[in-house]
Structures are given as structure tokens and as C-alpha cells.
Amino acid sequence: MSFIQLQQVTKIYHRSLKPAVDNMNLEIEKGEIVTLLGPSGCGKTTTLRMIAGFEQPTAGMIRIGDQIVYNHHFSLPPEKRGVGMVFQDYALFPHLTIEKNIMFGLNKWSAKERKERAQEVLELVGLGNFANRYPHELSGGQQQRVALARALAPFPNVVLMDEPFSSLDAGLREKMRHEITAILRQTNTTAILVTHDQKDAFAVSDRIVVMNEGIIQQVATPKEMYRCPKNCFVAQFVGKTNLLDGTICPDLKHVNTHIGRVCLPRRLERRMENVKVSIRPEGCRLSKDGKYCGIVERITYSGEYQELFVRLSTQTNDEDPLIIYAPIDQDVEIGSVVSFDITPELVALVD
């Protein structure tokens, strides 16, 4: 049995017609780190708040461990669900020391136990010497670690984190992604994170849940999600892609598109009519005698690679040029002809 289960969970807010979360089914294993990823307004926070018990679903069932915490005639109050929350702005009490912030959630414990546990979790997050400081005396990254320590202190069943990295600058963000995941792993904590940033999701998750308009689009490991996006939404939201119309060739291993015949990662089991093909820009590799060639219309430098917009001779002017990533050390000029190959592993048929 999975550790956390959401079954047909729907939330329709008062006075709104469209569900914020629509018939959501999701199962999470013990110790897993799962990220809800999607654009703003797609229902991520609502989902998290229903699991925590701050928001009541309109329909469905939620189970944590072997306890049903919500169904149509029962709702366990938030403080009894064993859920630790880390909020976007950390929500530390400014007038309490770090130690007291952490002890706050342990009100049922003896004074001695509370103090010991606060010290223990502060050491876990590398802030053993900070017990007597106040939140404003800490950096953003340190405050975030305190928020995590506070969430972990009562030995929760699950830690829920809403946009945990969004208020950190790029460098610190990368560091905190790594540190937070390390702490969650070390304590075998089950965690559900919410983010609209795919880099966050890719860096920390065992599995990613992509949502749009309250509906789960795909649940997959980061690698699967990138290589085999299920539909156009996922292909375009997670990374960049080239979406082309195509028809499957009789050998069931290639697809005909306006850029020519493209090889699929594996042979299809059955014939399909008009299909959509996603080709990742990383899957197009410049090579001297490549199978495809076109004219470079535009170049964008991203620092890590250069993004080439290439128009093939088979393309009409109203079709989008193909996006290709080229290594930054490769000299390419606008107006020049480039030839390239396409790696089948980064080609996917999408709904």
C-alpha cells in the first residue's frame, strides 16, 4: 500500500464554477520526494492545503499512512494529521528565537524534551549554534533551514513545502535545493513540494506531477518526463521543444514531418493516423554530414549553449523554425547552412 493516497479529490471554491483541483488521483510512497509542477493557478497550493487539512475537498478521499484524513463524512483536523508545513515566506515568528520557533510546534512535549529536540533538528540542518538568534539575524537560506527544522521537529508523517525556493536568488537556490533534499533523504522523510519552476522540480524530485487547470497531465520521473512527455502541454511546459505534425511511416519506426523522416525511439505497436511529434532541441546535434540541413535564421546565447533557429528548405515561411541547441564553442553564423542529426531518444509522440 502506498503511504499517501489521494483518490478522486476535487475542490470547487465557493462561487467558482471551474474546479481548482479536478478529480485528482495520486499515490506517494514512504520516503519519496514528489513535486507538483505547473503554471500559476493550476491548483498546486490548493492540493497541498487539502492534504494538510487547511482546505476541505469538495469530493474525494485522502489517506496518510493507514489513516483516512478526509472523506465525504470525516475530516481529521490539521494538527492531528502529522503534517509539517514549510511556507513560501517561511512564516517564522519574528519575536521568538530560533529555538523557541522550533519548540512552538512541540507543545505537548515536556520542557526538557522540547529543548533537546530543538537542538537536535538545528544540528541536523547545520545551525546548531544559532538557537538563540532571532529570524532577522539569519540569511534567507538559514531561515529556510530553520523552517524545515521546525517542520521536521515533531517527526511528521510528511513534509509539505509550498514554493520553498522562490524567494532565494539563483546561486543560493541551487545550494538549498541540494541541502534540503539531503536532509529529507537523511531522515527518510516523505515530502511533497510545490513549484512552478521546472529546475526546482528536476533537481529535487523522485517523481514529478505536472498539473494544468486542476488536472494531472503526467506523473513521471524527471528523466521520463523530459524524454517522453505525454502531451503537448507537458512537452512545452517542461523544457523547450519542437512540436511537428506527422504521419507514421509503414515501418512503424519513422514519422514523416515537414522536416523529413524522423526516427522514433522504438517501433510502434500499432498504426496511428495524424500524430504530433516532440523533438527536443538537445536531440538535434550539429554534424558535418547530418541527415537534415537548414539555414540559421537567428541565434540566442544562453551562456551554457547557443539556441539556433533553423529553417529547413522543406519548411514554408509561416512554420516556426526548428530550435536546435549547439555547444557554445561552436562557431555558427546567422545565414549559414548547418546540417544536423536527430537523436531518436529525444523524439516522442505526444497527444
Among ligand ADP, Mg ion, none, the one that 20 touches (CB under a kind-dependent 5 to 8 A) is ligand ADP
Question: Shortest gap between Cβ of 44 and Mg ion (angstroms)?
Answer: 5
Question: Shortest gap between Cβ of 6 and Mg ion (angstroms)?
Answer: 17
Helix or strand run (H / E) with residue 90: none
- Site for ligand ADP contains 44 (CB under 6 A): yes
Among 42, 52, 62, 86, the residue binding ligand ADP under the rule CB under 6 A is 42
Closest to 2 (Cα-Cα) out of 29, 34, 32, 35: 29
Closest to 113 (Cα-Cα) out of 122, 103, 124: 103
As a whole number of angstroms, the distance between CA 160 and CA 197 comes to 16
Q: Specify the residue, 45 or 257, whose C-beta has the smaller distance to Mg ion.
A: 45
Q: Specify the residue, 197 or 341, whose C-beta has the smaller distance to ligand ADP.
A: 197
Stretch of residues binding ligand ADP (CB under 6 A), selected from 12-20, 152-160, 242-250, 285-293: 12-20
Among 32, 43, 50, 349, the residue binding ligand ADP under the rule CB under 6 A is 43
Question: Shortest gap between Cβ of 85 and Mg ion (angstroms)?
Answer: 13
Inter-residue contact 185 to 206 (CB < 8 Å): no
Question: Shortest gap between Cβ of 350 and ligand ADP (angstroms)?
Answer: 23
As a whole number of angstroms, the distance between CA 34 and CA 248 comes to 35
Among 2, 8, 29, 41, the residue binding ligand ADP under the rule CB under 6 A is 41
Q: Specify the residue, 99 or 162, whose C-beta has the smaller distance to Mg ion.
A: 162
Question: Shortest gap between Cβ of 268 and Mg ion (angstroms)?
Answer: 38
Inter-residue contact 238 to 199 (CB < 8 Å): no
Inter-residue contact 59 to 8 (CB < 8 Å): yes
Q: Specify the residue, 13 or 155, whose C-beta has the smaller distance to ligand ADP.
A: 13
Question: Shortest gap between Cβ of 45 and ligand ADP (angstroms)?
Answer: 3
- Site for Mg ion contains 46 (CB under 5 A): no
Helix or strand run (H / E) with residue 340: strand 337-342
DSSP letter assigned to residue 248: E
Question: Shortest gap between Cβ of 230 and ligand ADP (angstroms)?
Answer: 19
Question: Shortest gap between Cβ of 41 and Mg ion (angstroms)?
Answer: 8
Cell reading at 212: 494544468
As a whole number of angstroms, the distance between CA 9 and CA 134 comes to 40
Q: Specify the residue, 46 or 189, whose C-beta has the smaller distance to ligand ADP.
A: 46
* Residue 215 CB burial class (10 angstroms; 0-12, 13-18, ≥19): middle
Among 40, 129, 188, 316, the residue binding ligand ADP under the rule CB under 6 A is 40
Q: Specify the residue, 44 or 254, whose C-beta has the smaller distance to ligand ADP.
A: 44
DSSP string, 115-180: HHHHHHHHHHTT-TT-TT--GGGS-HHHHHHHHHHHHHTT--SEEEEESTTTTS-HHHHHHHHHHH
Distances in whole angstroms, Cα of residue 165 to Cα of each of 78, 88, 177, 269:
24, 7, 7, 42
Among 6, 24, 32, 45, the residue binding Mg ion under the rule CB under 5 A is 45
- Number of residues forming the site for ligand ADP (CB under 6 A): 11
* Residue 326 CB burial class (10 angstroms; 0-12, 13-18, ≥19): buried
Stretch of residues binding Mg ion (CB under 5 A), selected from 16-24, 44-52, 219-227, 301-309: 44-52
- Site for ligand ADP contains 20 (CB under 6 A): yes
Residues that bind ligand ADP (CB under 6 A): 13, 16, 20, 38, 40-46
Residues that bind Mg ion (CB under 5 A): 45
